[in-house]
Amino acid sequence: MNDYVCRVAASDEVKKRWEKLVMRNPHDAAWKEWAVKFEEGVKRGGRICFYGFLRGTVIAEATAAVKCGELKFPEGLVDDKTAYLMAFRTDKEYRGKGYSLSVLKAIKGVFFKALPLCGKISCRHGL
């Protein structure tokens, strides 16, 4: 992992990543909708995307929703002490090599400095 870095993505990096994800899924309109939601959420400060870059290319990611308006049903999932983690992805050829764990560690470094790795994280299927 010498050529790998994990950090908060800039809004232009989020846009570029979602363009790639939409292109990978051309027959599923949901990806275009998600792209808009994620890009706008980052611009509003309601979502923080953590990307793992290998030689400058995003290969792993996760996003934290930090404002209630970012989720359809935020009750109990997002508040001033809880971020909702979503969109965990690692490109297929890089799975099983520890890249996703590095994304979680980056999230921990930002949000959970005083808590164990599985601190107050909320997750609900289907949102």
* Residues 20, 68 contacting (CB under 8 angstroms): no
Band (10; pLDDT cuts 50, 70, 90): very high
- The answer to whether residue 122 scores a pLDDT higher than 70 is no
CA 74 – CA 36 distance, rounded (Å): 19
Please give the Cα distance from 53 to 60 (Å, whole number).
7
- Over the chain, what is the mean pLDDT? 85
The distance from CA 73 to its chain's CA centroid, rounded to whole angstroms, is: 18
- Strands in 1-127 per DSSP E: 4-8, 47-54, 57-65, 83-90, 121-122
Give the count of beta carbons closer than 10 Å to the beta carbon of residue 115.
11
Write the pLDDT tens digit of every residue in 18-74: 999 999 999 999 999 999 999 999 999 999 999 999 999 999 999 998 888 888 888
Q: Which pTM value belongs to this model?
A: 0.83
Residues 6+ apart with CB under 8 A from 126: none
State CA 10 to chain mean position distance: 12
At residue 47, the pLDDT reads 93
